């Protein structure tokens, strides 16, 4: 089943990119979920859409690629993320209001760019729901660079990110620079979203950041374990979703989300029957 | 006698125009187990924030461990268990070990990892509060009293000289309150940690503390627990600004 993915270049880069976003999306998703910011990913993906539409518009008007949609999407996403963080500071008591403001702003801009360009046909459809054939070699290298950067930053600042997520007041009192780290984190989130959109699509990218986390939260012991499990679930969803999407000619965004949902349901059921990793481990020991 | 851990001279503080603390003078002697009593809105939390450097006094000066607070850098020497520690997100997926490790985060510093030494400190702190068997348990699965111990362990990892606890026993049942005080005595006796405990439970604190301070905008009482308990209801009414019924705990 994997044969086509290894044989054709365009599929191979999609596959490798899929493996990368299967790591970075749940990695940041873990912090996003525990900080109750799940909807921020949605807001940012819609801003990214505006950026992509802007890039496609330039392409269509000038007939040359000044800036690829990946880069314009990324630029919009990062700017949007900085706005969200600022808005969260302005509305301290109602921080979630930043989300509809940025989300509607993103959709509004997208509509304007799309209508100026008189539509983009299938190209835009690919961006909305993802595509197996949309990743160029240049995109792949860009996303590889982003992934390395993100894993490095999260690794280096792991204990600060964790402390802030668990108890922001205590972390701030003890001298951690909450504002700077939050800003850096949300910019990283914007980059992940821009990187993931080619494969998962605007409408479903937040699912890849939150569903694997929701599933692992049910059965994991502790935060680190939850993070690793989320990545494993994310990888399973991406690989299974890409392959089935390709063979059934369905945009992979749909199949990836569906696989994620199945994993989520299984983990909820497992929790209900009181299965945790520790218990499984104990059972194994007993058998020995 | 060695110098006091905290020394406040002529401290006043107001939120906007509303005076909360009015010319407070007091010291926490080294090794003391001090109970801080007072009505709601009497300025207890403000006083703590001033000690922690989260607020700056309008008037007066604060000295920490012998030096002026403005030059104080050793913040990890001062542990703080806030009231809010009780109301954290109970479903947060973190183990006891992970929670206690957050106490070391700022101390270890950016771009550095926990080494073996740090991990031993974390385990020691968990052991000290008698929760070693729960090290890898999710914090959400513990009882309120057990969680409170974990938050104390989080402060202990930095070897604090002063531990400030803001109403730590709210919502903890009687038996666990007793165990909690036993723990505080151990920290006070064995590790010579100076304690400042904010509480409403006058009956229990007077059995345990070495010093009692009563705060309602001004300092109304500062002395030994025996002196506090010998006060009449009439004296207490003056402190609290309303009639007080003394309820004795005869356990």
The per-residue DSSP string of B127-163 comes to: HHTT-GGGTTSBGGGS-HHHHHHHHHHHHHTT--SEE
Is beta strand B18-28 parallel, antiparallel or unpaired with respect to B211-216? unpaired
Alpha-carbon distance of B141 to B190, in angstroms, equals: 30
Whether B47 is covered by a domain: the verdict is yes
Distance from CA of B91 to the nearest CA of A (A): 9
Minimum CA–CA partner of B100 in chain A: A163
In a domain, B250, yes or no: no
Residue A283 belongs to a domain: no
Q: Of A144, A185, A164, which is closest to residue A41 (Cα–Cα)?
A: A185
Q: Is residue A286 situated within a structural domain? A: no
Q: Please tell me the predicted confidence (pLDDT) of residue A180.
A: 95
Task: Give how many domains chain B has, as a whole number.
Answer: 1
How far B46 CA sits from the closest chain A CA (Å)?
Answer: 15
Q: How far apart are CA A160 and CA B112, in angstroms?
A: 10
Percentage, residues of chain A above pLDDT 70: 93
Asked if A50 and A110 count as a contact pair (C-beta separation under 8 A), the reply is: yes
Give the CATH number, domain containing residue B186.
3.40.50.300
Name the closest residue on chain B to residue A224, using Cα atoms: B94
Contact state of A174 with B101 under an 8 Å Cβ cutoff: no
Does residue A29 fall inside a structural domain? Answer: yes
Q: What number of residues does chain A have?
A: 288
Do B95 and B138 contact (CB within 8 A), yes or no? Answer: yes
Beta carbons of B88 and A176 less than 8 Å apart: no
For residue B205, what are its two tokens? 């604190």
CA angle B225–B226–B227, rounded 5-degree value: 90
Nearest to A223 among B94, B104, B137 (CB): B94
Residue A256 lies in a domain: yes
Tokens of residue B233, six digits: 């209801």
Q: Are A254 and A267 in contact (CB under 8 A)?
A: no
| Residues of A with Cβ-Cβ distance to B99 under 8 angstroms | 166
In a domain, A287, yes or no: no
Q: Which of B157, B170, B161 is nearest to B83 (CA)?
A: B170
Total structural domains within chain A: 1
Residue B251 pLDDT class (50, 70, 90 cuts):
very low
Give the closest of B80, B93, B114 to A173, CB-based. B80
Q: How confident is the model at residue A68 (pLDDT cuts 50, 70, 90)?
A: confident
Sequence-distant (≥ 6) Cβ neighbours of residue A36 within 8 angstroms: none
Rounded (10°) angle between helices B96-108 and A158-166: 120
What are the contacts of B198-202 at 24+ separation with CB within 8 A?
Answer: B198/B36, B198/B44, B198/B45, B198/B48, B198/B164, B198/B165, B198/B166, B198/B167, B199/B35, B199/B36, B199/B37, B199/B167, B199/B168, B199/B169, B200/B37, B200/B167, B200/B170, B201/B169, B201/B177, B202/B37, B202/B228
| Closest partner CB to A169 (pick from B84, B108, B111) | B84
CB A16 within 8 A of CB A170: no
- Report the CATH number at residue A28: 1.10.3470.10
Residue B107 forms contact with A (CB below 8 Å): yes
Between chains, do B54 and A163 touch, taking CB under 8 Å as contact? no
In a domain, B248, yes or no: no
Residue B245 lies in a domain: no
pLDDT tens sequence across B64-111 = 988 898 888 888 788 888 876 666 677 789 999 999 999 999 888 898
Angle at CA of residue B219, ends B213 and B223, nearest 5°: 35
pLDDT, position A43? 94
The answer to whether A179 faces chain B, any CB pair under 8 Å, is: no
pLDDT digits (tens, 9 = 90+) for B22-75: 999 989 999 999 999 988 888 898 999 999 888 899 999 999 988 898 888 888
Between CA B44 and CA B27 the distance in angstroms is 15
Is some CB atom of chain B closer than 8 A to the CB atom of A275?
A: no
Higher pLDDT, A47 or A169: A47
Q: Which of B38, B55, B24 is nearest to B239 (CA)?
A: B38
A281 touches chain B (CB under 8 A): no
Contacts of A2-5 spanning 24+ positions with Cβ under 8 A:
A2/A243, A4/A246, A5/A242, A5/A243, A5/A246
Q: Is residue A218 part of a domain?
A: yes
Token digits of residue A264: 């989520």
Cross-strand pairs, B64: B6, B67
Predicted confidence (pLDDT) per residue in A176-226, tens digit: 999 999 999 999 999 999 999 988 998 889 999 999 999 999 899 999 999
CA distance A154 to B154: 23
pLDDT of residue B53: 86
Q: Do residue A221 and residue B138 have CB atoms under 8 angstroms apart?
A: yes
Residue B166 CA to residue B151 CA, distance in Å, equals: 12
In a domain, B155, yes or no: yes
d(CA A103, CA A111): 12
Whether residue A288 is contained in a domain is answered as no
Q: Write out the two tokens for B85.
A: 């520690």
Instruction: Evaluate whether residue B187 is within a structural domain.
Output: yes
Domain range for B172 is 6-240
- Residues B176/B145, Cβ–Cβ less than 8 Å: yes
**CA-nearest residue of chain B to A159?**
B105
pLDDT, position B36: 93
Task: State the Cα–Cα distance between residues B247 and B244, nearest whole angstrom.
Answer: 9
What beta strand segments (E) does B82-175 contain? 162-166
What span, in angstroms and rounded, lies between the C-alpha atoms of B80 and A262?
44
- Residue B101 in domain: yes
Domain membership of residue A241 (yes or no) is yes
Residue B241, pLDDT score: 66
Chain B residues within an 8 Å CB radius of A170: 80, 82, 85, 102, 154
Q: Is residue B77 part of a domain?
A: yes
Taking contacts as CB-CB distances below 8 angstroms, the residues of chain A near B113 are 159
**Preferred mutation among B88, B102, B110 to probe A, highest tally of A CBs within 10 A:** B102
Domain interval for residue A124: 3-277
Please report the number of interchain residue pairs, chain A to chain B, with beta-carbon separation below 8 angstroms: 75
d(CA B45, CA B42): 8
**What token pair was written down for B108?**
């270890």
Closest among B114, B105, B38, B232 to A178, alpha carbons compared: B105
Chain B, nearest residue to A33 by Cα: B92
């Amino acid at each position: 089943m994997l044969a086509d993915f290894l044989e054709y270049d365009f599929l191979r880069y999609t596959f490798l990119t899929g493996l990368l976003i299967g790591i970075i999306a749940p990695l940041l998703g873990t912090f996003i979920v525990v900080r109750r910011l799940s909807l921020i990913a949605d807001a940012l993906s819609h801003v990214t859409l505006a950026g992509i539409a802007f890039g496609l518009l330039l392409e269509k008007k000038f007939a040359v690629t000044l800036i690829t949609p990946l880069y314009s999407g990324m630029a919009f996403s990062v700017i949007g993320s900085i706005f969200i963080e600022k808005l969260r500071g302005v509305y301290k008591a109602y921080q979630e209001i930043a989300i509809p403001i940025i989300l509607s702003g993103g959709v509004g801009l997208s509509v304007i760019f799309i209508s100026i360009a008189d539509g983009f046909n299938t190209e835009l459809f690919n961006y909305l729901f993802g595509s197996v054939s949309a990743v160029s070699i240049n995109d792949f290298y860009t996303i590889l660079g982003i992934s390395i950067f993100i894993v490095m930053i999260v690794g280096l600042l792991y204990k600060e990110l964790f402390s802030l997520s668990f108890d922001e007041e205590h972390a701030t009192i003890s001298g951690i620079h909450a504002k700077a780290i939050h800003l850096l984190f949300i910019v990283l989130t914007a980059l992940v979203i821009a990187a993931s959109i080619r494969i998962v699509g605007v409408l479903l990218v937040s699912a890849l950041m939150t569903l694997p986390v929701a599933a692992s939260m049910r059965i994991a012991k502790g935060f680190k374990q939850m993070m690793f499990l989320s990545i494993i679930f994310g990888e399973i969803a991406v690989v299974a979703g890409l392959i089935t999407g390709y063979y059934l000619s369905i945009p992979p965004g749909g199949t990836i989300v569906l696989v994620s949902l199945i994993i989520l349901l299984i983990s909820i059921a497992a929790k209900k029957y009181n299965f945790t990793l520790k218990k499984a481990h104990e059972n194994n020991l007993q058998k020995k | 006698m060695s110098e006091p851990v905290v020394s406040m001279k002529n401290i006043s503080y107001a939120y906007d125009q509303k005076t909360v603390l009015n010319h407070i003078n007091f010291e926490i002697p080294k090794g003391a187990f001090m109970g801080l009593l007072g009505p709601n809105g009497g300025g207890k939390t403000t006083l703590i924030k001033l000690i922690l450097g989260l607020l700056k006094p309008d008037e007066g000066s604060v000295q920490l461990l012998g030096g002026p607070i403005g030059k104080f850098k050793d913040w990890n020497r001062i542990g703080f268990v806030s009231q809010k520690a009780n109301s954290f997100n109970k479903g947060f997926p973190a183990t006891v070990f992970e929670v206690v490790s957050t106490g070391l985060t700022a101390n270890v510093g950016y771009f550095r990892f926990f080494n073996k030494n740090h991990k031993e400190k974390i385990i020691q702190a968990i052991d000290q509060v008698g929760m070693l068997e729960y090290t890898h348990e999710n914090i959400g699965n513990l009882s309120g009293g057990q969680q409170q111990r974990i938050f104390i362990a989080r402060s202990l990892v930095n070897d604090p000289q002063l531990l400030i606890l803001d109403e730590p026993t709210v919502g903890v049942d009687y038996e666990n309150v007793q165990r909690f005080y036993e723990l505080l005595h151990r920290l006070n006796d064995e590790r010579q940690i100076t304690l400042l405990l904010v509480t409403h439970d006058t009956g229990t604190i007077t059995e345990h503390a070495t010093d009692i301070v009563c705060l309602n905008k001004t300092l109304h009482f500062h002395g030994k627990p025996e002196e506090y308990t010998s006060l009449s209801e009439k004296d207490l009414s003056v402190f609290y600004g309303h009639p007080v019924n003394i309820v004795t705990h005869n356990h």
